Chains A and B, each alone.
Chain A
Amino acid sequence: MTTVINVPPSLDDATIEQVLDQVAPLPRDQKVLIDARHARWASPYALTSMLTLGQTRAERAAFAGPENDDTASYWGRTGFYKHAEQIFDLHGHVPRARNGGESSVLLEITPVAKSEDVHDVVERIQQKAQAILVNELHLDPQATMRFAMTLSEACQNIVEHAQRGGWVAVQTYTWRQRLGRRVVQIAVCDAGIGFRASLENAHGRRISDRWDDAMALEDAVIRGVSRFRDPGRGQGLAGVRRFVGKWDGKLSIRSGTARIAIVPSWDEDVPLAEDLAPFPGAQVQITIPERIPPR
């Protein structure tokens, strides 16, 4: 029997939880159909999370994409279908693959598994980032390099900790509901071992009663703890935090059953969410808003 998982019309970091809530109670070998026929919009975080969700299923999942042509076409241009066909049994209309041409897609969905992939991602992002970040989002010209550094560190989190490949995507869009401004968003998702398991084997850690996904995230993101003895480790996320703060951006990382967020004044998210539906790996979202030039 196949269980149908309903995908809400608008899919972002908040509403993807509705999808994960439906999947969590099911055994991994339960056949599921992810029904996105009525989806009209999805953030890069949501698209990469859906691919990640597909990776977690022992029984290959089925996927029905958006019926709306514009939505399906856009998902195609983000690279979603190119990877989805490797992971899901696709149902319904699958848009034909087309190369590039989408100005809002700074980096189409790209697999990341090894160090060379990070080099590739950084090379590719720089070709488009300057024009979009500076001319359209009015960020400081220096921001382009720092943005690429942030992307590099976020991707390295997969290479160093996940123990399996993941996905990265970078897009811009207008965030009407929460912000009323354009944003650029980096999404980095993997279905690996997650922060808790990664830090569990850390040097001399005592596993206390309170050791859980939330504590692991706090250790890694707030205190810069790494599973490696090397004191230089853990700098990547600290650097990401620093830049995100400088740009009044938002960083959120979900792992296991918890999500931690560095929340700017324009957002109403909670700094720490616990007791979420269990989901393997780590899912990182970095959102940088358009800078409003001073009058």
Chain B
Amino acid sequence: MINHIDVSSVLRRTVCDLYSNLVTRPTGAAVRTEIENLLAAWRGPSLTVIDFSHVNLLDFSCADEVVAKLLLRFEGGAPPHDAYFLLRGVREDHLDAIEHALERYQLALVMQADDGALLLVGTVNDDQRRAWQALRELGRGAAEELASALGEELADAAALLAALHERRLVMRFDDTYVPLGATP
């Protein structure tokens, strides 16, 4: 299931219908809470596109509250449910604030540029980045296929996929992994 959240609409609905700037912690916390409420209603595996296209300004505090804290809830071995996130409409100045927040917690996410290209943003080590890139080129695959593509041992490829999945950077369907933004 693919969901779409227009962050600017959430901002206007939950905080003030005159605001177009995502600034201050209370504002960011209110927007994140509303996003979490929406996610809770969409039970089951889901990919949620978080769209910043109509957000004018995003400051560091709001990037921390909206993006980093949302990811923190879902990354790791026991997320509240099987949700994945893809960011869209992120301008260069938004990205400054988002990257800054991600670095603080060693988080990473996938964003889709205006030309459709998928980009890995945040803190990712070289092996994970190489694995993510290889899986993106494969379109989808299991550990065996990734091991072959990378020229790695099967166990190493499986560990890399597991790590990317825990970080919500790839989706998992049984033994097959799919990069966010690709058609499962």
Genuine A/B complex: yes
A-to-B contact residues, CB < 8 Å:
115, 118-119, 122-123, 126, 142, 145-146, 148-149, 152-153, 156, 159-160, 231-232, 235-236, 238-239, 242
Contacts A142-B92, A159-B24 known; A153 to B61 CB distance under 8 Å? yes
Within 8 A of A (CB), among B71-107: 91-93, 96-97, 100-101, 104-105
Contact of A235 with B24 in the complex, beta carbons under 8 Å: no
Main secondary structure on chain A at its contact with chain B?
Answer: helix
B100 pairs with A239, CB closer than 8 A: yes
Closest to A243 in B: B96
**B64–A232 contact, CB under 8 A?**
yes
Distance in angstroms between the alpha carbons of A232 and B64 in the assembled complex: 6
- Name which residue of chain A comes closest to B16, CB basis: A119
Q: Name A149's closest neighbour in chain B (CB-CB).
A: B59
- Contact check, B59 vs A152: say whether CB atoms are below 8 A apart: yes
- Nearest-CB residue, chain A, relative to B69: A232
Of B60, B69, B91, B92, the residue contacting A239 (CB under 8 A) is B60
Q: How far is the CA of A123 from the CA of B21 in the complex (A)?
A: 8
A119 and B93 contact, CB distance less than 8 A = no
Asked if B150 is at the interface (CB within 8 A of a chain A CB), the reply is no
B65 CB to nearest A CB, Å: 7
Contact with A along B87-131 (1 / 0, CB 8 A): 000011100110011001100000000000000000000000000
Which B residues form the contact surface with A (CB < 8 A)? Answer: 16, 19, 21, 23-27, 56-61, 64-65, 68-69, 91-93, 96-97, 100-101, 104-105
Residue of A nearest to B62 (CB): A152
Task: With both chains docked as a complex, state the minimum distance between the C-beta of A128 and any C-beta of chain B, in angstroms.
Answer: 15
B92 contacts across to A, CB distance below 8 A: 142
CA distance A236 to B69 in the complex (A): 16
Residue of chain A at shortest CB distance from B23: A152
Minimal beta-carbon separation of A146 from chain B (angstroms): 6
In the complex, what's the smallest C-beta–C-beta distance from A112 to chain B, in angstroms?
A: 11
List of A residues within 8 angstroms of B60 by Cβ: 149, 153, 235-236, 238-239
A152 contacts which of B19, B24, B69, B91 (Cβ < 8 Å)?
Answer: B24
Chain A nearest CB from B143 CB (Å) reads 33
Residue A232 contacts which of B21, B59, B96, B104 (CB distance < 8 angstroms)? B104
Which of B64, B69, B97 touches A149 (beta carbons < 8 Å)?
A: B97
Name which residue of chain B comes closest to A117, CB basis.
B24
Residues of chain A within 8 A (CB-CB) of B97 are: 149, 239
Are A118's CB and B68's CB within 8 A? Answer: no
The answer to whether A118 and B23 have CB atoms under 8 Å apart is yes
Q: A145-B57, A156-B61 are in contact. List 11 more A-B contacts (CB 8 A).
A: A115-B27, A119-B23, A119-B24, A122-B59, A123-B21, A145-B93, A146-B96, A149-B96, A153-B61, A232-B101, A242-B100
Give 25 A-B contacts (CB < 8 Å), ordered by A residue: A115-B27, A119-B16, A119-B27, A122-B59, A126-B56, A126-B57, A148-B21, A149-B23, A149-B59, A152-B21, A152-B61, A153-B59, A156-B24, A156-B59, A159-B24, A160-B25, A231-B105, A232-B68, A232-B69, A232-B104, A235-B60, A235-B100, A236-B61, A238-B100, A239-B60
- B23→A122 contact, CB < 8 A: yes
Q: Chain B: which residue is nearest A239 at the CB level?
A: B60
Determine how close the nearest CB of chain B comes to the CB of A264; give it in whole angstroms: 20
